[in-house]
Structure 1
């Protein structure tokens, strides 16, 4: 794997790109028109010695690097990654197709003009074998007024701040053996002192329609790839006032399998930094600090590197692309063994699913609670956005109280060619579910059984998991054949395949939950899988994933260590810009702690006593839903409910509606959609009472989806403690504001930090195994 790297300001020199301008006279002419001077003359001769000035150096470097990229790309070469140091990031984004040549040059020209106006302060390069520990030295001396400008490598960092403080820092560091080189700049770039310039430039960036990168581009701000779309402008604005995390980016390339780099542009500075990072990757330093986002300007001293025993091998542990099952990633066509789960009533929205698909990931649309016509409309929008081969899945929610709805949804999925469903809330196999799985099943040329539709089943009980891990019962297949839903050939193939090739073990989660613990559930389900697979030699061995409670890198790392082949995130995704719920709910979710959830009766399985986990903070839904369920348990008909209870339910839960008014509304709905249920309710007073009391659950969901401020106390928000864990993890970062929590960015941050956490854990284990005498000698 290879990466192309584009250098930043400081690499420019007279004569750079001299041979490139005649190859693309069209671009040279357009550059002259945009800049108002001859770019070729500036770069070849620099007669007025303007290449040292920021406002001229930045456009010149962009043009040279863009032309160098186009020459290399014309030869048919294509890297796996792109990255650019500071200004070079613009050339990398151009190479990735995020904007055209003219747009990039105009942006860089304005960036150079704005930065050239900045004044005051300066920058200091710190060099030495342990330059990344310089911050600890400065902190010990009380030197705390400087920001980190560049984290280039373990042996090279750059500080920025007031010139007097830089001089003091240089004196301190030289006494400790560091080389310090003042840089010839007029301001403290990539520091808090560029805040005004960054705000001005953000207004320029807001006018540009950036396209998603065709090749992954590392951001200077995060040291990680840009999300698929939507984050280019904010990160470029932030780049002006944030440290360049170059070493973190280079370590990400190493962890991703990159071993070759090409420096596209003048100089060899980045080649040297790459070699330095490669050396550091096999020596005695811990990785750069990891976290969910980008801290604000901070002194390098806050991130001192610890010294651990020297090892000759490179850092242990997988990168984020290698966590979980490679077969899972290939089967689903995704970058990570990570999916987003379906959240009912389209909270897992079209926008959420499309964004995941465009990012090389996959999400399930939240079809639960929707009528087939709404679901079909969602499929239409998703397939139009992602194309016929796009990555997406749909929820198939068990509806024991409405089997006709389940059949209608399955027929819709089969008719629209939906190839992936997430089966949720099933306690047993149903005919529509098995019909979906094995419609179109056949044998390939070698005679092996093949199912074209994939069912990913969420399970929390062993007996349910076992049903999905085995082929469907013969009696169920015979009934489907007799009903004309499956052919005999499809049924014969079904008898050789598990109902699910992937089961997801759901622990303590939002919505329907048995409150299970991953530490006990996941190993048990894996052993069950192995037992069942052993009874069916030659059949595909199902993969076992994990969901529930996954709101931090530590949680994801734990389930991967337990053997999870993949993970599915849930609660955390409803607090993203793409989620199909109200801003009021998202504002509340962003403040939730791990203690702020409660169990409440489930509206769809009300009579069975099933429970869902919901937000307790700032709402009364859990308590009021519990009161309603107790009324159902205590009484046999609406007319039997005592006056005090009736008044409390009507006023607090029904928004002042009477039982009679709610029944009239419910009766009209059933007459249109479920006439058989209406007939049953008219015959059975207890059934009629249940339908009236269940109205509250639909009402409370609608209040939350709309963000009705007057109904906040009754918001029903399905949520598990993962939301609180995620909020704690991102506190103090750019993701603290939910408006920055794009669903693909959440996936990237979590999976990358999980890989970092696992590497650190492996290092700690290895260090504990190093003999004490050896550690003493090395220290």
Structure 2
């Protein structure tokens, strides 16, 4: 390390002399709980950590003392992020494994996160009610009652009954934390979940049993989550006797969500917005609404999308992130509820191996999801189906040659058989869709195409060998960044990837890099080799932070 500073004080040696060897210096930087001093030792740079520091330029030089050129503070994993956020959700570290639909964020994944001081959300989107209930029962059975966890609530476009059924299920089983995703506006079921059971305690503090973490990328949606519940919806809930007068009255003093995840370029549903522009806006909004409403607990904003390396996680906290949330990288972990083949190809993905494709649940609206394009033809096939939907008013209008191609290469069955399969699916989900399709040829075409889109993600989860080229795998560019970082480490193989171990590495690496950059901010030139941090085993991390 090159020293460009004038000294800021003196360091008096204790029982251990300062170190000058490069590897010893790096080892000390890795011991993140040790405050360090950069010293001038006869014109060369050294690091001291066992002794006494005397700050101020007028300090007199003593025997066995050296001039201090810079200071590196101790930085523990639990010191990252916002303390109120961590206390609110009973977690030690400000790290969330986000909800991935169809149970990809599995019971096992949520359990491992909780057991390691972090937070996980079960991916309930796309599952039947009884499947979600089974996951709730299993998780409550296997997890210590004091440990935190959450479930996903994805907005069900055009299916109010499903959204309400999921909320009622969560209320029935006392699920106290949900991740609200894909909402463009606040809905009645969401308000019901938030308001149910709120009261004032003996200290006049409003207690809210049910908490929401909103996942948003648009400022107009963020404003709704940071505001109290819409009065119109509160009034309807009260009139229907779904909430009490007390709950309705207290709704004016609490936000719909105390925490918002600013979602950038992520896998699945995304607006592809860069985090460097999304987060500052959400952060400013947080300060604005804290001041406007003066809630009894302050609001928090976290990062999501593109977080896959220690540098990116460190940057999130440097920018003021209250917590970070990961998604794509967890899908390649052994706890993920997906197939071995999917884990394998995700572990080989590069940053450019992603594409946008039409979304199954918001197909008609033109919504898109970010998916893996490596080893699958799904993005191209899905885009073709959407172009046909926009061009024609019914499947019968499509050119005969193209229809045959769709039946052979995409449906892999006749359109008649495909329609029967589609009807069977919606009979158990939303029978009104079938009724509408019988009278609306364009809607029937949409359901046919949505059927392929929906099944493609199921085939990937099942590892269906015959459908490899049709796999829909939600994935963002963070997957490629992660794979590049873990090259030639024990995490290169997907068989060694564990969700909690990855989370701890990203947090530990954030602390390591923040200490290194603290040096750069004090005008200390740092050798490039000192800027390298590769994954380390969980047990080794705990040895360094205990």
Q: TM-score range by the shorter chain?
A: 0.7 to 0.9
TM superposition shift of 1:447: 2.0
Pairing of 1:577-726 with structure 2 (within 5 A): 577-654=334-411, 656-726=412-482
Relative distance call for 1:406 and 1:277 in structure 2 (3 A) is: farther
Specify whether residues 539 and 128 from structure 1 end up closer, same or farther in structure 2 by C-alpha distance, changes over 3 A only.
Answer: closer
Q: Which runs of 5+ in 1 are unaligned?
A: 1-126, 134-150, 155-244, 257-275, 284-308, 771-779
Q: Does 1:451 align with 2:208?
A: yes
1:279 aligns with 2:35: no
Quote the residue 1:409 is aligned against. Answer: 166
| SS at structure 2 position matched to 1:736 | coil
Separation in 2, partners of 1:131, 1:505:
43
The verdict on how the C-alpha distance between 1:381 and 1:282 changes in structure 2, with shifts beyond 3 A counting, is farther
DSSP-derived class of the 2:179 partner: strand
For residues 672 and 730 of structure 1, the distance between their equivalents in structure 2, rounded to whole angstroms, comes to 43
Q: Of 574, 579, 587, which aligns to 2:331?
A: 574
Displacement of 1:128? 8.8
Residue 363 of structure 1 corresponds to 120
Shift of 1:587: 0.6
Kept in 2: contact 1:624–1:653 (CA 8 A): yes
Output the CA distance in 1 between the equivalents of 2:234 and 2:438: 35
3-state SS of 1:495 partner: helix
Alpha-carbon distance, 1:759 to partner:
1.0
**Deviation for aligned residue 1:329:** 1.3
- Shift of residue 247, structure 1, vs aligned partner: 5.4
Shift of 1:280: 8.9
Question: Which runs of structure 2 are paired with 1:366-405 in the superposition (5 Å)?
Answer: 366-405=123-162
Deviation for aligned residue 1:616: 1.1
Kindly state the Cα deviation for residue 754 of structure 1 after the two structures are TM-superposed. Answer: 0.8
1:490 corresponds, among 247, 269, 286, to: 247
Structure 2 residue 289 is matched with structure 1 residue 532: yes
- Would the alpha carbon gap of residues 560 and 282 (structure 1) be closer, same or farther in structure 2, given more than 3 Å must change? farther
1:672 Cα deviation from its structure 2 partner: 3.4
1:449 to partner: Cα distance: 2.1
Counterpart for residue 513 of structure 2? 757
Distance 1:517 1:753 in 2: 22
What is the aligned partner in structure 2 of residue 254 from structure 1?
Answer: 34
Note closer, same or farther for the CA distance 1:693–1:601 as it changes in structure 2 (3 Å cut). same
The yes-or-no answer on 1:748 pairing with 2:519 is no
2:351 touches 2:480 (CA, 8 Å); kept in 1? yes
| Count of residues in Structure 1 that have an aligned counterpart in Structure 2 | 490
TM-score w.r.t. the length of structure 2 is 0.86
Superposed CA offset, 1:666-693 (max 9, x none): 1123233322222111121111111011
CA-to-partner distance for each residue in 1:340-385, whole Å, 9 max, x for gaps?
A: 0000000001110111111122100000000110001001111111
Change (3 A) 1:255 1:605: farther
> Which residue in the other structure is 2:522 paired with?
766
Residue 365 (structure 2) pairs with residue 476 (structure 1): no
* 1:293-342 residue CA offsets vs partner (Å, 9 max, x unmatched): xxxxxxxxxxxxxxxx9637751363222111011111112121111000
In structure 2, distance between residues paired with 1:310 and 1:367: 58
**Structure 1 CA distance, aligned partners of 2:463 and 2:51?**
51
How far residue 768 of structure 1 moved from its aligned partner, in angstroms, is 5.4
The SS at the match of 2:453 is helix
| Alpha-carbon offset, residue 593 of structure 1 | 1.0
Structure 2: gaps of 5 or more residues: 1-15, 37-46, 55-65, 527-546
For the Cα contact (< 8 Å) 2:393–2:441, is it kept in 1? yes
Question: CA-to-partner distance for each residue in 1:371-426, whole Å, 9 max, x for gaps?
Answer: 11000100111111113333110000000221111111100101101011000000
Task: Give distance in 2, aligned partners of 1:529 and 1:459.
Answer: 13
Deviation larger for 676-685 or 358-367: 676-685
Listed as ranges, the matches of 1:74-153 within 5 Å are 130=19, 132-133=21-22
Structure 1 pair 128–496 and aligned structure 2 pair: CA distance change class (3 A): closer
Normalised to the residue count of structure 1, the TM-score between the two structures is: 0.60
Aligned residue for 1:266?
none
Would the aligned equivalents of 2:32 and 2:512 in 1 still touch at CA under 8 Å? no
Cα distance between partner residues in 2 of 1:359 and 1:246: 25
- Cα deviation code 1:593-648 (max 9, x no counterpart): 11110111111100000010000112111111000001110111121121222122
Question: Are the structure 2 counterparts of residues 354 and 538 from structure 1 closer, same or farther at C-alpha, using a change threshold of 3 Å?
Answer: closer
2:300 to 530, 543, 546: 543
Give the Cα separation in 2 of the matches to 1:595 and 1:626.
18
CA displacement at 1:659 relative to structure 2: 1.3
Task: Assess, with a 3 A threshold, how the Cα gap between structure 1 residues 503 and 581 changes in structure 2: closer, same or farther.
Answer: same
Contact 1:247–1:277, Cα closer than 8 Å, also in 2? no
User: What CA distance in whole angstroms lies between the structure 2 residues aligned with 1:281 and 1:676?
Assistant: 75
C-alpha distance in 2 between matches for 1:372 and 1:668: 17
Q: Which runs of 4+ in 1 moved over 6 A?
A: 280-283
Does the C-alpha gap of structure 1 residues 765 and 741 become closer, same or farther in structure 2, counting only changes over 3 Å? same
Specify whether residues 760 and 476 from structure 1 end up closer, same or farther in structure 2 by C-alpha distance, changes over 3 A only: same
Task: Name the counterpart of 2:277.
Answer: 520
Higher relative contact order, structure no. (Cα contacts within 8 Å, ≥ 6 residues apart):
2
Q: Does the 8 Å CA contact 1:365/1:393 hold for their aligned counterparts? A: yes
Whether the 8 Å CA contact 1:497–1:540 is kept in 2: the answer is no
**Cα shift at 1:532:** 2.2
Asked if the contact 1:393–1:418 (Cα under 8 Å) also holds between the matched residues in 2, the reply is yes
3-state SS in 1 of match to 2:229: coil
Native 8 Å contact 1:606 1:694 kept in 2: yes
Kept in 2, the 8 Å contact 1:255–1:319? The answer is no
Q: SS in structure 2 opposite 1:608? A: coil
In the alignment, is the contact (CA less than 8 A) between 1:282 and 1:312 conserved in 2?
A: no
* Partner-residue secondary structure (3-state), 1:447: coil
Q: Which residue of 2 aligns with 1:556?
A: 313
Give yes or no for contact 2:76–2:511 (8 Å, CA) kept in 1. Answer: yes
The structure with more strand, counted as a fraction of residues = 2
**Partner residue of 2:97 out of 329, 336, 340:** 340
SS in 2 for 1:581: coil
